[in-house]
Amino acid sequence: MPERSRRPRLVLVDGHGLAYRAYHALPPTLATSAGEPTHVVFGFASMLLEVLNDFEPDYVIVCFDTGRSFRQQLYEEYKAHRPETPDDLKHQLERIRQLLDALGIPIVTREGYEADDLIGTLAARATANGLEVLIVTGDTDLLQLVDEDVRVILPGRQRFGDYRVYDRQAVIERYGFPPERLPEYKALVGDPSDNIPGVPGIGEKTATRLIQRFSSLEEMLDRIDEVEPPRLREALRAARETVLASRRLATIVRDADITLDLEQARFGDFDRERVLQLFRELEFRSLVPRLPQPRQPVRKTAAPASQRRAVLTDADLSDLVRDLETCQAFALDVETTALHPMYADLVGIALATAPDRSYYVPLGHTTGDTQLDIEQVLQRLAPFLRHPEKQRYAHHGKYDALVLERAGFPRPHIDFDTMIAAYLLGENAVGLKELAFTKLGWEMEEITELIGRGKKQLTMDRAEIARVTQYACADVEATYRLVEVLRPQLEAHNQLRLFTEIELPLIDVLIDMEKAGIAIDVPYLEQLSIMLDGQLHALERRIYELAGHPFNINSPQQLSTLLFDELGLPRGKRTKTGYSVSQEVLENLRDTHPIVEAILEYRQLLKLKSTYVDALPRQVHPQTGRVHTIFHQTVAATGRLSSSDPNLQNIPARGELGLAVRRAFIADNRPGYRIADEPILLLSVDYSQIELRLMAHFSQDPALLRAFAEGKDIHAATASEVFGVPLDAVTPEMRRIAKVVNFGIMYGMQAYGLARDTGMSRQDAQRFIEAYFQRFPGVARYLEETRRRAAELGYVETLFGRRRYLPEITSSNPARRQAAERMAVNMPLQGTAADIMKLAMIAVHRALAERGLRSRMLLQVHDELVLEVPESELATTTELVTTRMSRVVELSVPLEVDAKAGPNWADLEPVRVKLSH
DNA sequence: ACCCGGACGTA
DNA sequence: CGTACGTCCGGGTT
């Protein structure tokens, strides 16, 4: 659309104002992987880029404050109580200056003036020269500058990146009076942050009323007898001089001693590469597409001058094979039709035999070009996929390997996975495109540029081969290069063993588990669904009856209106959007109205039904007849696995109904599906108290070590210690409390939480925790030492060197610092348990294969392994799994495991095995 | 068609 | 105001 001719436009940015606002408005969670805080720079940059894009200014200037301004000379107390700029903000202000420099935007400061005054002056000069002015700030004081030619842009209240533009009308709507009267308003109300006193008894409402009533402050003071109510008159009279002085302080200067240099302020051809370099250092990949387009279009490219070929003929294929024969390492990647590897069809294979030499082998494109026969490709490529003298690189190789295997290829062995490497290094974003940007400086084509998005998104097989070749080749080239960058970083972090002895070998184990899937009893779940339907309908009718009318029980909003407005029940906690109707709140309202009980039951039932009973049957794979979860290796901050599509790590385990759902997971005895021609059982083996045992090991606390060495019931033993009674005098109630404490300690729980969970008073809870630490002084020391180390290093680590970075561990905000401390205390325990389980899985996998057993692992639920086992192998497999699990590492305490077996996941009986310790 | 908060399932 | 996850739903926005 052709741009209508318009007046030249100047954007003036209040540098400090915007940065301060970002500092306070944004959660200080954003940091680079190295721990450099960046949330202020990010907020500043995203707002600036947004404005540059939306308003396409011809000129841009940023103003900053200098030390003291004339206001301090006028009034000693001005901004007197403002604390020193915190260090993390100072550092980010420097980063902002670097950004502005790279963008070619001049910074204006002047001794004796605040940024406000410089902006006021520049705005006045600019409008006098016929320019249109936009002021970007985080400070509402600037709104007084709004007039016919000047608008002010403030960050949104909800999202910082959004903004609101104030013209004259918008100011009047917000305040009830025009912009030029804002200094009077501020003089009346006062401003604690500037230490401007204001008039006692005058708040926002009264000030607005007075300003509307009188045309100026002078008039107000002249006709002070008309001020209502009378008691205000006295206050106003007494504050007369202060108010007039305050107005002077609050009025922005428009004739400071500076000139407007428009030539210097012209915005346009900045050094894009410098900005990108800075964004890379700050890990701001999401801002890259929002950089204003320079005059000449940028070529989105990966490696400079690389050779990329589509493999379409026998001759092409022979060239590729020749290359594969001579190279020592190659990167591989597959293009497919879906994100779930069990549902993805192979569309093509990309291979890079060198960082600047890549091939794309199309196999399943529906578009016109010739494609080679898959059988032929398979024959020629197969020898390289597991070749012991070749190194195979991939980004998320688990996915590629499973897709290739399902397509008939030998499963490739992955020798380096860039996604896992980046995860171990603590990168915030482990996607290939993100890494290519932050580690290599490559701007890569997004998948949506190739196949579009939303409703009109193509599947990969419908995209043009030539374009997919460019896209896929860029990916493998990036992968190849990333290996060269990431490997030395893993070495520098001492994480090469963690990588090659735990994470990489685990890939094959997880592929086997994902591929195996687990059987569920679909007819049983369908029956259960019908039964729950009846119960839900009955509950629904009862709830509507008690409410007096139908409403949406699932809507927290509607429920809140009903409970608190219509039924008048006592309100509890607040949420951002209203009053909480959480389980916790409702539990407390149980006795006030019968509807509460019914709602709680309804919620639980619906959740179970929709998430499990109804959803699971839909996820049975049409070919295998089982459900296949995806195990994610690079998601959890502690090193645990996670599971999705469906999540099989949160199948209900408690309550009658929970167990009913769990009962649907069955040992697969269907003919044609069973793994052996005999009855099949599920075997579940889990670690007993592994995290508490690790606590004993790490802390070397004598009492805790002794309790585990003697094989005691740990919660009862804890109760006996802390309550000071013999073991056989511990009551169930004492044990229950000790159990809450044992878990709470590992999560950094405080008295408040203990009191809430046990029902004891805050004081009792406090005393109890103190007693605990007195009885287990090693634990107290260990927790303290962990926090100290975390603060010193900026990260914590597991027994095997897995790290978690905690940039907020030194935050000056106590709540945020304490949150980081709780993570610091928990991660080494949870993470080491995860490491141990992963090692055990690798050992079990290997042992089952070596012994030629048909038993196989199906699920991992953090401290539990679920296997399917032919009945005749039960004793052998149980013995094998339990010994591998308990002996995978040598700790100061024994690692005990429990084994149970049965026809389904709910009805399991202990399996007795002889364990030779 | 997407994103978010609130709620709730697991270890 | 104890840790770590994923999924459902409603309700807001594109």
Helix H or strand E segment including A359: strand A357-362
Q: Is the CB of A572 under 7 A from strand B?
A: no
Residue A261, token pair as written in the block: 């240099």
The residue out of A813, A831, A849 marking a domain boundary is A831
A171, A316: one domain: no
- The nucleotide lying nearest A815 (C-alpha to C1') is C1
Is A531 contained in some domain?
no
Residue nearest to nucleotide B11 (CA to C1'): A862
Domain presence at residue A807: yes
**pLDDT digits 0-9 by tens, A157-178:** 656 666 778 888 888 888 888 8
Q: What residues have CB less than 8 Å from A24, skipping those under 6 apart?
A: none
Residue A594 lies in a domain: no
In this prediction, the residues of chain A whose per-residue pLDDT falls under 50 are 1-4, 295-299, 301-303, 916-917
Both A394 and A258 in one domain: the answer is no
Residues 6+ apart with CB under 8 A from A727: A712, A716, A717, A720
Span CA (A575) to C1' (B5), Å: 9
* Nucleotide minimizing C1' to CA distance for residue A741: C2
Residues 648-687 (A) near nucleic chain B, CB < 7 A: 649-655, 658
Kindly state whether residue A107 falls inside one of the protein's structural domains: yes
Rounded CA–C1' distance between A229 and B6, in angstroms: 46
Q: What is the CATH number of the domain that holds A149?
A: 3.40.50.1010
Among candidate residues A448, A479, A510, the one where a domain is terminated: A479
Domain coverage including residue A791: 691-831
Q: Among all strands, which nt has the closest C1' to A644 (CA)? A: C6
| A583 nearest nucleotide via C1' and CA | B7
Closest nucleotide (CA of A454 to C1')? B1
- Do A389 and A260 belong together in one domain? no
The reply to whether A454 Cβ lies less than 7 angstroms from strand B is: yes
Q: Identify the residue whose Cα has the smallest distance to the C1' of B7.
A: A582
With a 7 Å cutoff on the CB, does A581 touch strand B?
yes
Separation of A687 CA and B11 C1' (Å)? 11
- Residue A685 domain-assigned (yes or no): no
A583 CB less than 7 Å from any atom of strand B: yes
Å between A448 CA and B5 C1'? Answer: 28
Do A353 and A459 fall into the same domain? Answer: yes
Query: Do the domain assignments include residue A673?
Result: no
Residue with tokens 């083996």: A685
The Å distance, CA of A581 to C1' of B5, is 13
Q: Tell me, yes or no, whether A65 and A141 share the same domain.
A: yes
Here the CATH number for the domain that contains residue A423 is 3.30.420.10
As a whole number of angstroms, the distance between CA A745 and CA A303 comes to 51
The separation, in Å, between residue A289 CA and nucleotide B1 C1' comes to 21
Give exposure, A604-629, as e/b (b: 16+ Cβ within 10 Å): ebbebbebbbbebbebbeeeeebbbb
Task: Evaluate whether residue A211 is within a structural domain.
Answer: no
Residue A240 CA: distances (Å) to CA of A159, A189, A200, A275:
40, 13, 12, 52
CA of A159 to C1' of B3 (A): 13
A339 CB inside 7 Å of strand B: no
- Asked whether residue A333 falls in the same domain as residue A473, the answer is yes
Q: Which of A179, A356, A354 is nearest to A252 (CA)?
A: A179
* Residue closest to C14 C1′ by Cα: A454
Question: Do A331 and A260 fall into the same domain?
Answer: no
Tokens, residue A685: 């083996």
Q: Which nucleotides of B are covered by protein (CB under 7 A)?
A: 1-2, 5-11
Domain co-membership, A260 together with A325: no
Domain count for chain A, please give it: 3
Say whether both A93 and A149 belong to one domain: yes
For residues A22 and A167, state if they share a domain.
yes
Q: Which residues touch strand C (CB under 7 A)?
A: A 552, 554-555, 557-558, 606-607, 610-611, 615, 632, 635-638, 640, 642-647, 649-650, 740, 743-744, 747-750, 752-753, 756-757, 815, 819, 822-823, 826-827, 830
The last residue of one of the domains, among A479, A510, A539, is: A479
Q: For A553 and C12, how far is CA from C1' in angstroms?
A: 18
- In angstroms, rounded to a whole number, what is the distance separating the alpha carbons of residues A245 and A206? 20
For strand B, is any atom closer than 7 Å to the CB of A604?
yes
Complete DSSP assignment for A302-341: SSTT-EEEE--SHHHHHHHHHHHHH-SEEEEEEEES-SST
Residues A259 and A360 in one domain: no
Secondary structure, 3-state, A589-627: HCCCCHHHHHHHHHHHHHHHHHHHHCHHHHCECCCCCCE
Q: Nearest residue to B10 (CA, C1')?
A: A650
How far is it, in rounded angstroms, from Cα A314 to Cα A377? 9
Name the pairing type of β-strands A897-902 and A909-910: antiparallel
Q: Considering only CA atoms, which of A687, A684, A685, A683 is closest in space to residue A896?
A: A687
The residue whose CA lies nearest the C1' of nucleotide C10 is A555
Q: What is the distance in angstroms measured between the alpha-carbon CA of A819 and the sugar C1' of B3?
A: 26
Distance C11 C1' – A559 CA (angstroms): 14
Q: What CATH number should be reported for the domain holding residue A808?
A: 1.10.150.20
| A39 and A160 assigned to the same domain | yes
- A642: nt with nearest C1' to CA: C5
Residue A165 within any structural domain of the chain: yes
